[in-house]
Structures are given as C-alpha cells and as structure tokens.
Amino acid sequence: MDSFVSLFHGFSIALQPANILYCLLGTLVGTLIGVLPGIGPLSAIAILLPITFYLEPTSALIMLAGIYYGAQYGGSTSAILLNLPGENSSVVTCLDGHQMARQGRAGPALAVAALASLCAGVAATFVIALFAPPISQVALMFGPAEYFSLMVLGLIAAIVLAHGSVLKALGMIVLGLLLGCVGTDVESGALRMALGLPGLFDGIGFVPLAMGLFGVGEIIRNIENDRHQSVMQTRVRDLWPSRDDFRRFWPATGRGTLIGCILGILPGGGATLGSFAAYTIEKKVSATPERFGKGAVEGVAAPEAANNAGAQTSFIPLLTLGIPSNAMMALMAGALMIHGITPGPRVITSNPDVFWGLIASMLVGNALLVIINLPLVGIWVQLLRVPYHLFYPMILVFCCIGVFTVNNSVLDVMLLMVFGFFGYLFIKWHCEPAPLLLAFVLGPLMEENLRRAMQVSYGDPAIFVTRPISAVLLLAALGCLILVLLPAFRRTREVAFQEEN
C-alpha cells in the first residue's frame, strides 16, 4: 500500500498550481498536434524539448508527458471528423470512428473516444503506481552484464514491433550507436570522431539529432504532399452516447486498456502497436464482426483505450530500468538527462517528486483532456483550417531558435540541417529512423556496461551467458530475432501493419 501513500504525495505535487498549468499546457499542445495531421508527437516533443530547460524537472516531464498522451486524444478527433489520422496510433480509429461520423453520430464517436481514453488513462496510472516500484527493486540487482543484455533486448524488440525491413532497422540501430560514440570517451578522456570541432567534444547534441530526423525531415516531406483537406461540415451535437453504445463500450474499453497496458510495457511497445492489436482482437471476439468498419462503437473504444494506456505504461521501462522502449521514451530520457536525472531504478528513490508527481499528473491530465476535447472540439476543428504553408515556416523557426538556445551553438543549427537532410532521405527511402534515436540514447550506456562487464570477467565474453538473468534476456532477444525472420510471423506482421496504408 506504500504505492498509494506515495501516489498521494504525487498528487500534492501534481496539484500545485504551476504544475496544473504545465499539465494543461502540455495536454493543450498535445491535443493541437494530435489534431493537426502534419506534425506528430515525436517531432513536437523534439521541437519543444529546449523550452523545458527553463522549467523544473518535474514540471518539464509533466508537460512532455501531457503532450504525448494528449496527442492520443487529439489524434482521434481528426480521425473521426476527417477520416484523417492526426497521428499513427489513431489510424484504426478512422475505420469505425469516421463511419460513425458519416452516419451523423460524430458526437457519440468523439465522446466514446474521449471516455475510453479517460478510463484507460486512469487504469494505466494505477498500473504504473503498482508495478513500477517492484520492477525497480529487481533492476537494482542488475550488474553491467544484465544491463547490457537488457539493452540488446530492448533494441531488438524495438525492431520486431516496428514495421519495415528488419535489416534496415538493424542498420539504423548501429548507426545510432556509432553517432553515440562521438565526443569525449568517459573512461579514457580520448576524443572520438569529433572532427576537431569543439562543439562536438561533448558529443552530438540530442536535440538537433531528434529535431532534424523527425522535425525537419517531416516538414520537407509534408510540403511535398501539401494538399488541402476539406473539413467535413459535421455539426457535433448530442455528444452523449446512447445506452446501447455504453453496453458495448465497457467490455471493449476494458480489453483495450488491458492490451494497451501490456504492450506499452514491452520493449518496443507504445501507443501505436496497442491500438492496432486492440482493434484486431476486438473484431475477433465480437459476436458481430461484420459491424466493424461500418461504425461499431467497440472499434472506436478499444483502440482509443489501448493507445492511451500504452502511451502511459511505456513510461514504466524508462523510469524503472532506465531503458526507453521507443523513440518517444528516448526523447523523455533525453529530457530527464538534461535535468541531470539519470533514468533508471534509482529515480523512484532519489527523485520521488519527479516520479510520483509525473504519475499523479497523468490522472490530472486525463481529466483535463476530457474537458479540453469534448466541449472545445469545435475550436480544434477550426484549427485544421490553418493552411500548412503558413504553418511550416513557423515550425522551422521554432526548430532553429530551439536548437540554438540550448547551447548558443551555431554548430548545433548546422547539425540540425545535416540531420534534417538525412531524416528526409530516410523517409524517402522507406527507412524508419526511430530505432536510430533509441540506439543513440542507449549507445553510451551500452558501451559503458559492456566495458565494465568485460573488466569484471577479465575479458571473458561468457559472462553474458553464464549469469542467468543476462542469459535469459539475451535468449529473449534471440527469440525475437528468430521470430521476426520466420515466414509465418513475417506475414502476420505485414498484415498487422497493412491497415496503416
């Protein structure tokens, strides 16, 4: 029951006026970028990262987390009203949500999405509060060998659960690890691959890398397919779902939440995967699968519950093991480290305010989101009319000024340009850059633990398989790799991501 006492402590932090304000700000921004199709939460958080330097670490995290789960709410709005996923994780919401809107039931569809997200958000918060402390206790027993193996598992799992070519994802991971090597070697003090540029002595900046790959690359891409979306002229009336809707709503939300929570915790998991899985499962267990795709309430509730639950529980591996499970959590890890907090099992004990404040803020944020989303939905729809060609120069300016003010470094702005170009190339060549960012964050940790493990074992690599936990983790990683190479699994994986296109 300690967890609940601590959770109350968390509320005392999350309910401070300033933190409520940042939570509101985060959820507002999240909703905004969720609604706007041009920009995803990854690029938005990358762009806003520099601004959080001037906040308290707790406030900064509360705001960033708000953006992430807020985007899950906002994404459903444009999915339902425009058949346009504002965000990857709301792709499946389009299927039934938009059908409901076309049948004149946009209001109930939005309400179902918001309520499902709220239920899932509340449940996920308690899941984190209950499971995070014990996991961090286990993690405290980890030695360098276990940590190294855990990171290997994290990186491999990230590939399996992502879509696209496995080989290319592996290539991206190694490239990320290589980029992570740049700068001063912590152990020997030697400069590595810094090209003699003083700006690189501390390593490649996380902000220009993330912002370039995800922000700038995406902007160029979006200008290319700049087409005007016609906003559907639906009047959103009668928000409240009918009694029949509610009968279908509860079980679907429950299953969606469960699936989202589980998939969120897994390495490589997160919001998107959960929503796809929840939709597929909901269709399987339904007595009337033919209603799916024609406006089934379950088809909105389950994926929306799952993506919100997954968005929140993916914080567990980051805050307990120090392992970001996806690119979004890699950004959060970056934000923590900027504030001098190393993500890992010690966060709960050494920075209880940050940990419990963040968790409690998720409850606050979810409540705020329902308020932001339902009555104000008209405003968000209006925003969709801001033309992208006036919007992207503003984003670019924020990118530049954001990168520059971190270190007052012109080199960082140049790096932003270089990485932006690469980000664009990778998008063009159908190569997902998310594993690169994950590997970039994990790289230095991996190297440090590898070197320590090898020192401990006097240079014997067998340490990774003779220590039981490490061996199990490596076996799991190997299993993931084999799984993804099996033809049967590959086909299912392709089918699962098919609906995305």
User: Does position 187 bind other proteins by CB under 8 A?
Assistant: yes
User: Does position 491 bind other proteins by CB under 8 A?
Assistant: no
Please choose, out of 58-66, 424-432, 470-478, 490-498, the segment that lies near other proteins by the rule CB under 8 A. Answer: 424-432
Candidate list 171, 199, 251, 352; residue touching other proteins; CB under 8 A: 171
Could you tell me how far CA 308 lies from the centroid of its own chain? 10
Query: Helix and strand tally (H, E) in the chain?
Result: 24, 2
Instruction: Choose between 227 and 243: whose C-beta lies nearer to other proteins.
Output: 227
HSE-CB at 265 with a 13 A cutoff on CA atoms is: 14
Cβ neighbourhood burial of 488 (10 Å; 0-12, 13-18, 19+): exposed
User: Does position 457 bind other proteins by CB under 8 A?
Assistant: yes
Instruction: Choose between 153 and 306: whose C-beta lies nearer to other proteins.
Output: 153
Instruction: Choose between 279 and 388: whose C-beta lies nearer to other proteins.
Output: 388
3-state DSSP call for residue 447? helix
Instruction: Choose between 378 and 459: whose C-beta lies nearer to other proteins.
Output: 459
Q: Where are the beta strands (DSSP E) in 94-196?
A: 183-184, 191-192
Angstrom distance (rounded) from CA 329 to CA 313: 11
Candidate list 36, 219, 300, 372; residue touching other proteins; CB under 8 A: 219
Please choose, out of 3-11, 72-80, 190-198, 468-476, the segment that lies near other proteins by the rule CB under 8 A. Answer: 190-198
Q: What radius of gyration do the chain's Cα atoms show? A: 22
The CA distances from residue 417 to 38, 194, 220, 383, 462, in Å, are: 20, 18, 12, 29, 43
User: Does position 15 bind other proteins by CB under 8 A?
Assistant: no
3-state DSSP call for residue 475? helix
Candidate list 405, 407, 469, 471; residue touching other proteins; CB under 8 A: 405
User: Does position 441 bind other proteins by CB under 8 A?
Assistant: no
User: Does position 223 bind other proteins by CB under 8 A?
Assistant: yes
Which pair of tokens denotes residue 497? 């991501």
The CA distances from residue 107 to 134, 237, 239, 381, in Å, are: 42, 6, 4, 13
Cβ neighbourhood burial of 498 (10 Å; 0-12, 13-18, 19+): exposed
User: Does position 192 bind other proteins by CB under 8 A?
Assistant: yes
Instruction: Choose between 140 and 485: whose C-beta lies nearer to other proteins.
Output: 485
User: Does position 37 bind other proteins by CB under 8 A?
Assistant: no
Q: Residues with Cβ < 8 Å from 341, sequence gap 6 or more?
A: 57, 347, 350, 351, 354
User: Does position 462 bind other proteins by CB under 8 A?
Assistant: no
3-state DSSP call for residue 408? coil
AA identity, residue 228: H
Candidate list 1, 17, 141, 188; residue touching other proteins; CB under 8 A: 188
Q: Residue 389 CB, nearest distance to other proteins (Å)?
A: 5
Candidate list 8, 130, 134, 185; residue touching other proteins; CB under 8 A: 185
Task: Report the site for other proteins in 55-94 (rule: CB under 8 A).
Answer: none
Do 144 and 456 contact (CB within 8 A), yes or no? Answer: yes
HSE-CB at 374 with a 13 A cutoff on CA atoms is: 21
Q: Residue 224 CB, nearest distance to other proteins (Å)?
A: 5
Q: Residue 457 CB, nearest distance to other proteins (Å)?
A: 8
Number of residues that bind other proteins (CB under 8 A): 61
DSSP string, 131-188: HHHHHHHHHTT--HHHHHHHHHHHHHHHHHHS-S-HHHHHHHHHHHHHHHH-EE-TTT
Angstrom distance (rounded) from CA 179 to CA 441: 10
Instruction: Choose between 170 and 281: whose C-beta lies nearer to other proteins.
Output: 170
Candidate list 133, 251, 383, 447; residue touching other proteins; CB under 8 A: 447
Binding site for other proteins (CB under 8 A): 54, 165, 167-168, 170-171, 174-175, 177-178, 181, 185, 187-188, 190, 192-193, 195, 216, 219-220, 223-224, 226, 389-390, 392-394, 396-397, 399-401, 404-405, 408, 410, 413-414, 416-417, 420-421, 424-426, 428-431, 447, 450-451, 454-455, 457-461
